[in-house]
Amino acid sequence: MDLLSGLTRSALAVALAALLLPSRATAAPDPADAARVFAEAKALCERDEGALWGTSLCGPILLVDYTDRSVVANVADKEGRLVASGALFAGTLPESVIIANTPTEWAGVRWTQLLWPLPTEADKRQVLIAHELFHRIQPTLGLTRNEVGNRHLDTLEGRYLLQLEWRALAQALKATTPALRQAALSDALLFRHERYRLFAQAALEEGQLEINEGVPEYTGVKVGLNDPKARIAHAEYDLSAFVQAPSFVRSFAYATGPAYGLLLDEADPAWRDKLGSGQRLDQLLSAAMRLPDPDPTTLAARATHYDDGALRSAEEARDRQKRAQAAELTARLVDGPVLIIALKKSNRQFNPQTLIPLGELGMVYPTLRLTGEWGALQVDSGGALLSAKQATVSVKGADPSGIKGEGWRLDLAPGWSVRPGARAGDLIVAQTPTDAAGTP
């Protein structure tokens, strides 16, 4: 996912990971370059011919430059917002539309929106294109889930066990014999099941995100790359690249999805038809390979096979730093004074690689663009706290104007204003009261 990508819907994840994209340029989509991307996307989905999911991935695509919101599309919209430019269509995306690598409903069309420029490396670009093409059709396949939490993946034990699982999965992908592969997969499931034992909601929450983002990333690898060796190499790359992500809370599924998917292709080619059963990817693979239940008494010994102690020490140091950071964020975004906005229907644009869980208080977004009926909130630094049930968002107290503060700016819609909150010093965003004549 790009550093300015985010969600435009409640249940689906966005885009490919920021680690996979190049630094952003400021040039708008060039028609010739855009045409090559559209041709590449068409070639990918025509090569697949609907074989993977029983339906074509081809469809409307918007290439968007976030610096000026200029767009180039491969088809016309249904409201005449775009202007024909040769075989393509050009225009400007309105401020009301969130910019992200994500499916986008705009001008009467459901688009695959891709941020410009795309990765210059062919394999990463093709994986990204196929990943996002799948997101557009994902709801029609019944492969969307309600995402929640995964905050356990920002804890010491959650992060440690996840990285052990990634290392075991990498060994399974590299295995030269069935016996070596089975041994590595048994280890991967051992580390995963220990995570599920420690954290009551982990199995449910991880399984949901692996459907929402792991399956699209698997599709990106499967459709985007034609060479089986290249697919394995990219899956291994994902398992190592995401170690550098600031948080695993949303990024982990991009790493596990291709690994489990490609291993399932070999163990049970019909596995994709079983996703509607509610089984997780790890359950499907365990059943397909007839693996025994993990033996928790072997955990310590098997961990030493993947960690000489350096990983554990690094994670313990990180945990100490995170505790100090959590105390600072709590003082800033909870203890107050704060500006609070109640959320109903809203759109978010953010970088999922940087999210910071704050326990039962919710999730901190270091940067964020949030829009709703009340207007738009732009957070460039300092962070915003989205409550655990996503009912409110809070930022550090405003300056006397009430519409900006340290690292953020609020653009209010007509009929909305900032008023005193329940606590001394707090502010809230609310509809402006009117008199009997309807005058504010």
The set of long-range contacts for 298-304, using a CB threshold of 8 Å and a minimum separation of 24, is: 298/190, 299/190, 299/191, 299/194, 302/187, 302/190, 302/191, 303/164, 303/191
pLDDT digits (tens, 9 = 90+) for 208-224: 999 999 999 999 999 99
Judging by DSSP bridges, how do beta strands 384-387 and 70-73 pair with one another?
unpaired
Q: What is the mean pLDDT of residues 274-303?
A: 96
Query: What is the reported pLDDT for 28?
Result: 67
Strand 427-431 and strand 338-342: pairing?
parallel
Count Cα atoms within 13 angstroms, Cβ side, for 372: 18
Of 205, 217, 186, 29, which is closest to residue 114 (Cα–Cα)?
Answer: 29
> Helices H, strands E: what count in the chain?
11, 18
Q: Is 376 left (phi over 0), alpha (psi -120 to 50) or beta?
A: beta
Structure confidence at residue 27 (pLDDT): 56
Is pTM, for the whole model, over 0.75?
yes
The whole-number pLDDT of residue 1 equals 34
Please compute, for residue 115, the number of CA atoms within 13 A of its CA located in the half-sphere on the CB side. Answer: 27
- Tell me, what's the pLDDT at 352? 74
Which of the 8 DSSP states describes residue 49?
A: T
Distance CA 252, CA 214 (A): 8
Residue 362: left (phi > 0), alpha (psi -120 to 50), or beta?
left
Give the pLDDT band (50/70/90) at residue 166.
very high
What average pLDDT does the segment 224-231 reach? 98
- Whether 18 has a pLDDT exceeding 50, the answer reads no
* pLDDT band for position 354 (cuts 50, 70, 90): confident
Cα radius of gyration rounded to whole Å, the chain: 23
Q: What is the mean pLDDT of residues 242-261?
A: 93
The Cα-based distances of 261 to 17, 240, 242, 364, 404 in angstroms read 18, 17, 17, 31, 46
> Taking 90 as the threshold, does the pLDDT of residue 12 lie above it?
no
Residue 98, SS3 per DSSP: coil
How many other C-beta atoms lie within 10 A of the C-beta of residue 40?
16
Report, as an integer, the average pLDDT of 29-52. 96
CA angle 138–142–144, rounded 5-degree value: 65
How high is the pLDDT of residue 113? 98
pLDDT given for residue 440 in this prediction: 57
Q: What is the DSSP string of 156-225?
A: HHHHHHHHHHHHHHHHHHH-SSHHHHHHHHHHHHHHHHHHHHHSTTHHHHHHHHIIIIIHHHHHHHHHH-
Q: What end-to-end distance do the CA atoms of the chain give, in Å? A: 42
> What per-residue confidence (pLDDT) applies to 312?
98
Is pLDDT at 86 greater than 60 in this prediction? Answer: yes
Please give the helix or strand (H or E) that residue 418 lies within, else none.
strand 416-420
In whole angstroms, give the CA distance from residue 98 to residue 64: 11
pLDDT one-digit tens code per residue, 378-437: 999 999 999 988 899 999 998 878 899 999 999 999 999 999 999 999 999 999 886 554
> At 250, is the pLDDT very low, low, confident or very high (cuts 50, 70, 90)?
confident
Query: Region 173-180: what's the mean pLDDT?
Result: 97
What is the C-alpha to C-alpha distance for residues 129 and 284, in angstroms, rounded to an integer?
27
User: Is the pLDDT reported for residue 22 higher than 80?
Assistant: no
Q: What is the pLDDT of residues 94-122, one digit of tens each?
A: 988 988 899 999 999 999 999 999 999 99
- CA–CA dist 440, 437 (Å, integer): 9
Distance separating alpha carbons of residues 37 and 119, to the nearest angstrom: 11
Residue 206 and residue 185: Cα distance in Å, rounded? 18
The secondary element (H helix, E strand) that includes residue 313 is helix 310-333
| Range 354-381 average pLDDT | 91
Contact present, 98 and 347 (Cβ < 8 Å): yes
Specify the 3-state DSSP secondary structure of 131. Answer: helix
Q: Which of 21-35, 293-307, 351-365 ranks highest by mean pLDDT?
A: 293-307
Strand partners, 387: 362
Say what the pLDDT of residue 15 is. 34
